[in-house]
């Protein structure tokens, strides 16, 4: 039942690599060609293309080829599930942080 | 330079598995023993412990043994880096979404 990758698995897996996060950061500023993405990265073009494939499989990025240039862009819709998951956890975590804050504040008063 | 796992890599890697996310969801409601975590999961206790180790390596969870019971809890501080990264990307993405919305609204007007 848990042995296949869900969309959320693929998105978090895609985000778990610093090169892929750097590519997303670049693309969050606007579309870029594969060469433009590869420019600042200290790796071969085939390695960049492999990372791009992981990003495309996750749905975070899509690319289109026009003539000889493949243009990559962020796919905003794919972020919905991860944003929702994080927002839900954050609201729980924030409540826990608030309680931790209250707890620590209580300890501070005790030690005053 | 990019060949070692950063804290952010470890956190996203930990989040890229549905069992580990289920464990975090349980823990976001409060601390739990390993048995309590394993309860709703259709897997062996050693498998649960392995997932717990990945969560602990990421810093998202810590556990303490008291007597024969290991109690696990969310580590709120470890979320800072991932929350910041997502918030920064989201603000870029939201701006792009707004522009996409404007673009689509423009198209809608055209087709009206």
Whether the predicted model's global pTM rises above the 0.90 cut:
no
What are the pLDDT digits (tens) for B2-17?
Answer: 446 678 899 999 999 9
* B76 vs A contacts (CB less than 8 Å): 93, 96-97, 100
* A3 vs B contacts (CB less than 8 Å): none
Q: Return contacts of A102-109, CB within 8 angstroms, 24+ apart.
A: none
What are the pLDDT digits (tens) for B46-60?
Answer: 999 999 999 999 999
Contact flag B86-A85 (C-beta cutoff 8 Å): no
Q: How confident is the model at residue B20 (pLDDT cuts 50, 70, 90)?
A: very high
Contact flag B93-A79 (C-beta cutoff 8 Å): yes
Contact flag B28-A74 (C-beta cutoff 8 Å): no
Distance from CA of B39 to the nearest CA of A (A): 16
Contact flag B24-A76 (C-beta cutoff 8 Å): no
Helix count (H) and strand count (E) of chain B?
Answer: 5, 3
Q: Does residue B42 sit at the A interface (CB-CB below 8 Å)?
A: yes
Contact flag B76-A92 (C-beta cutoff 8 Å): no
What are the pLDDT digits (tens) for A30-70?
Answer: 899 999 999 999 899 999 999 999 999 999 999 999 999 99
Alpha helices by DSSP H, listed for A1-112, are 7-15, 18-27, 34-38, 45-58, 79-111
The DSSP code for B88 is H
Across the A:B interface, residue pairs with CB atoms under 8 Å apart total 74
Q: Can you give the pLDDT at residue A96?
A: 66
Contact flag B76-A86 (C-beta cutoff 8 Å): no
Q: How confident is the model at residue A85 (pLDDT cuts 50, 70, 90)?
A: confident
Q: Does residue A6 sit at the B interface (CB-CB below 8 Å)?
A: yes
As given in the structure block, the two tokens for residue A58 are 């996750």
Contact status, residue A75 vs residue A59, Cβ threshold 8 Å: yes
Q: Is the ipTM of this complex over 0.85?
A: no
Contact status, residue A100 vs residue B76, Cβ threshold 8 Å: yes
Q: Does residue A44 sit at the B interface (CB-CB below 8 Å)?
A: no
Residues 62-81 of A with CB under 8 A from B: 74, 76, 79
Handedness of CA B36, A84, B89, A39 (dihedral sign): positive
């Amino acid at each position: 039942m848990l042995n296949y990758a869900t969309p959320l698995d693929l998105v978090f897996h895609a985000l778990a690599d610093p090169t892929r996060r750097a590519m997303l950061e670049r693309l969050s500023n606007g579309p870029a060609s594969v060469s433009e993405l590869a420019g600042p990265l200290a790796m071969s073009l085939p390695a960049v293309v492999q990372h791009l494939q992981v990003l495309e499989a996750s749905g975070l990025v899509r690319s289109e080829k026009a003539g000889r240039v493949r243009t990559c862009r962020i796919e905003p819709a794919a972020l919905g599930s991860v944003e929702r998951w994080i927002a839900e956890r954050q609201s729980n975590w924030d409540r826990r942080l608030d309680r931790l804050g209250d707890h620590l504040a209580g300890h501070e008063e005790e030690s005053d």
